[in-house]
Each structure stands twice: as C-alpha cells, then as structure tokens.
Structure 1
Amino acid sequence: MSIETKDITVEKVKTSKIDQVDFDNLTFGSVFTDHMLVCTYKNGAWEMPKIAPYQPIVLDPSSKIFHYGQSIFEGMKAYKDKNDDVFLFRPLENFKRFNISADRMCIPQIPQEYFMDGLTTLLNIDKDFIPTKDGSSLYIRPFMFASGNGFHASPANEYKFIIACAPSGAYFSGKVKVLIEERYSRSANGGVGYAKTGGNYAGQFYPTQLAVEKGYNQVIWTDDTNHEFIEEAGAMNIFIRINDTLLTGPTSDRILDGITRKSILDIAKDQGIKTEVRKITVKEVVEAAKDGSLKEMFGTGTAAVISPISGFGYRDTDYELPELENSYGQSLKKIITDIQYNKSEDKFGWRFKVEK
C-alpha cells in the first residue's frame, strides 16, 4: 500500500504563527506547529492522509473515545543538526509499537507508508519549527482514537489518526525523589500495561498525586500481586545500578517496551558496562541502599532521555543516593543524544534522515 508525497493532500495555513514562537523559552508540549496530519478510517479502510492547519477536532458527544477509551499514542522527536538536516531516532520502532498498541485496543493498524510518509511530509512542511538551540527538539505526537458514534459497548467503526508536533526546549526534570508504591498498581498480567493507551497514564495520576502530597516527585511502580518487584518509574522505564552492574526489569504485559530503554541497553553493552535484564526485588534495592552498593537509579523515556533519581522512600524511610561525578546515566545520555543530534557516529544505524 505505497503512497507518494504527491498523493497526500496538503492545505497550508494562510499565515504562519512561527513569528509568535519564543524559541529561547519553550516549555514542553505547549506550543504547536502550523500543521497536523489527519487520516480517517471509514467503511473498513484508511482514507488517504491529509496535511491540514493545526486546529480543534470536532466530535459527536457519542464518539466512542469518550465512553470506552479506545485511544493510543506515541512519543517521538525530530532533531536538526548544524547543517539544517533533520533526523528522527528509530522511528520504525515507534511505528511497530504503535500498531502493537492498536491491536491490543482493537483499533485497526495504520499502514507503515501512511505513518512514515505522512510524518516526513509534515516535517518538511513545518521544518522551520524545529528548534536549533542545544538540547531542544520538535516533539512529535502520533495518536489514534475512536471517532465512531454510539453508546453500545463495542469497538468503533471509525477512527482518526493524527500527528501533531510541538517545538520544545531541553527537558530538564532535575533529580527526582520517588516513592515505592505498595497499594496501587500501574498494570496487571493480561492487561494493557505494554500498550501506550491513555488510560494507563490517567490511572497513574491519583497515586502520583498522593506521593506528591507526601513530598515525593514521582512513584516507582511495583508488581500488582505482592508489590515485590520494581517495574517502572512514573511513566518511564527504570534502571538501577548496584555496584557496577546496570539492572532493568524485563518487558511484559505490565511493562512498556521502551525505545530509549532498548537503546540504553545496547549502548551500555557497547561501552563494556555489565547489564542484567531480570526481575529486581524491592528488598535487594533497599538492602543495596543500606550497604552502599546502590549507586544510581534513573528513568528512561523519549522526553527526558534519562531522568536521574536522587532518592526513594519505602515504608516511612527515605534513602538517599550518592552524588557521582561520572555516572552511568550522564555518560549514556550524552552518547544517545549525540547520535540523535548527528554529533557522532551512529554505529547502531538508529538515525533516520528526513529527506527533503
């Protein structure tokens, strides 16, 4: 089902809003480009993608997204180098995961050509919105939702696939203090934890709010059965360094197959860092904190790449992590971002140039 750029209908804005964008003071995900990609699934097939001015979406009150939550999304970034060339980072991994999420939420898959050709067309049109300030990028949000109408509890017969973009500055979350959660669960075996669906994130807000009220920034999620194993950190995958070994949990029904997570594992191995992908118990992390062998904890994800954790709370006790001059987290983040911004060799073949 191949398409060409000429097959995509393009309606450009009459007047660009780029002059209103303060590229020196960009907050994450709050300023948007001139255009968006829209594609409709109707009568059992995807219609041809369209590029349209960024605008509100009009939906009937009975649209099933409002009632049964059929929605998925991805998070990606576009980077511009010193030669004004534009790059994506492992975009086919996002595309594959997008359709994995679609299957789990009983949403029709989007063809690769629609996803990739539509995205590259959109990026070429809104290329000037990609920031060039160090650490900044264009955040890309592909998403899909049930637009078909009806109150009956069943999958919709119509869907919308949209890609919207937001120029964003460097994402500095600072070091965060987290609380190991023992009551609430992010997901369960056989559930939708591995899918990027809106309900997964909505369900995190309340437990996280409770943790914030206790003085923490975020929650570390544990398994839904006995809360015995470390699983994720907020909306990010988690890595834990005990002595010189970097640990992360295996992906499952409950844990998202993070693209940054996979990349960090490959880079760490290439750098000679010992890694282990296995279940990590809360008990061993607490004991490592007590005996000093716990060196680092950090979350990984598209927005922040790596978010260092300064300490954690567990059963009314706080544990602080040491300040390291040459942490794994810092060195791994530099390597991955240098690849993303075309500042270094890409021996892994992850960088994807957006052709003009």
Structure 2
Amino acid sequence: MATDQKFQSFCDKNILRKKWERIRDNWAPYLESAKNLNLDDDDYTQLPQIFSEVASIYSAEELGTKFVEAEYVRPFLLKESITLLRKASNVISNAQSGVLKGYKTWSLVNAYHGAHFAAKSILSFFGYTFPVVTNPSGISHLAFIDVWPTLTIGSGRSKKVTFEVDKFIRLSKPPVAKIEQRHIWMTLLRLLNTCSVEDVWPKKYTKVIRTIDFKEFGRQRNHLFYDNNAWLFDDLITFIVTPNWGIILEDFYDDYRRAIKDMDSDFSILISMVLLKMAYLLLEDTCKYSTILNDSLNDIQSVLQSTEWHPLYIQSAF
C-alpha cells in the first residue's frame, strides 16, 4: 500500500538512533511531576499552546515539522507510558485467564490488544507519541511528538546524528489522517532497529520482535475479525485447555517463525508477554536510580508476580 510506504518513510526520517541509557537519565528531572499528575484531570492535548503549535505544522507555510519549547509535555508522556504498561498487564492477564478456562480462540484477541498497549508503552518510554490535540471549538489535529529529539547534521559521509537535551521537543505531521494499529507496529519496529538498549533487554527479545513483519502482529486477530466464518479452535460451545499452551518455552526463541506461520498457534499470547516484559524492564531500569516512581513499579511488579493475575507469564522462560 502506498500509504504504508509513506508512513515507513516517515518513520525512517523521524526515528533516529538513540541510546536508552541517555533517555532514562534524562527522565530524572520529570519523575516527580509525572508521579503527581492525574491524567483524568490533566491532559496536555487540550492545552491551547500545544494546539497552536501543532496547527502551525498543518499550515502551507510550514514544512510539516518544527522544534518547539514545550518540555511540559515530558511528564505527561512518562505518566502515559506507565498507564499503558498497566493496561497491557491487565489485558494480557485477561488473555491468560481465558487460556486456563478454555477460551483458546478469543484469548488470542485479548493478547493481541494487550501487546498493542505494551508496544505503545515502549514507544512512550522512548519519548514518542501520536496525540490528537483539540481546541475548544472541537477542531483536532494528529501529531507525532518526540520529546527527546535528535538532530541530523551534514550529509553523505559527514552525516552525523546528535542528541541534545534542552527544553525543545519536535512536532511532526504524520502522512496519515489517523494512526491505526499497523502504524504502531511499524513505528515500534523502526525503534527496535535503531535504538540501543544495552543490559536492559536480552537480545533474544529483540531478535524475535524485530524480525516480525508489521502485518504479522495482528494476523490471528484480523483473521477472526474480518472472516465471518473464522474460528481457530473447537471452543465455541465447549472449553479446550491444552497443557503448556500460552507459555513461553525456551525453544520459542529459536523456533518462533513456526508459531508465526501457524494460524492455530499461541503466537499472539507469547508475543504479548515478551512485549509486556520489555515495557516493564524499561520502567524497572528507570527506577534503579530514583525511588520516586517505586510505588508504580511495586504495584506492577506485584501483579506480574501473582499467580492469580499472570499464571502463564510466571511460568514462561524469560
């Protein structure tokens, strides 16, 4: 699809090399503000100043991207990343419960949606988001925000990517009218192919996720949604419980292509738990050098270690 090619080009242009360690350290001044935010009451997407800045990149005079002094967005995004992690944990827990009760088919759908939340959480921890900003008149604009922007200086062999921290964030106009699920997967894959996350993510995690085509993440879910006659297992009127189904075994990391290829595999569940683990590890690493967000970390950790909430996750080979 031409629109997918345009969006891929957008990702290639706007998501450049970054080191997680630097981003983690740069979150430090915003931890307290993020902790105290109530996202039910506070919403930066409704602020007049951010709408004005985003609206300007839609004007004919602008090039579709600009740097603006808006560091106030950063604590919102950090809080959002934790909220998305909580949502991922909840939905993936629901998928595991479905597996153990015998709802094999629909557990794959819940797992996919949980994986989607986990992917968005990872993007947010790295400072990326696609908000829709709105003014009091109800006019809305979609934007891409990078709160830790990189700059490309020079061209050809002298081309250099620098990462400077100041009060500026980068706003860009996406080449689509609406961010759909496949766009999140495309953005995540671009991030994983450019970022450095040393000593936080085991290489086997990124090895699996990076080699999945963006269209494959939702393969099982889309098959069920868009084929009226599709149902993967004989569990419409009976329960089916299969031992070890939905648990990451050690050989998964070497044989994951088989799981992707087989429509009736537990692929969506296994991938959801890998992404959940990856998002959690970013929060855990953020909290290594400060106790400010420990309440959130401990809450999420206790749920992930609970046999009631995450029975298959606990048994998985991470």
Same fold (TM over 0.5): no
The structure carrying a bigger strand percent of its residues is 1
Q: Which of the two has higher C-alpha Rg?
A: 1
Higher helix share: 2
**Higher RCO (CA 8 Å, separation ≥ 6 residues):** 2
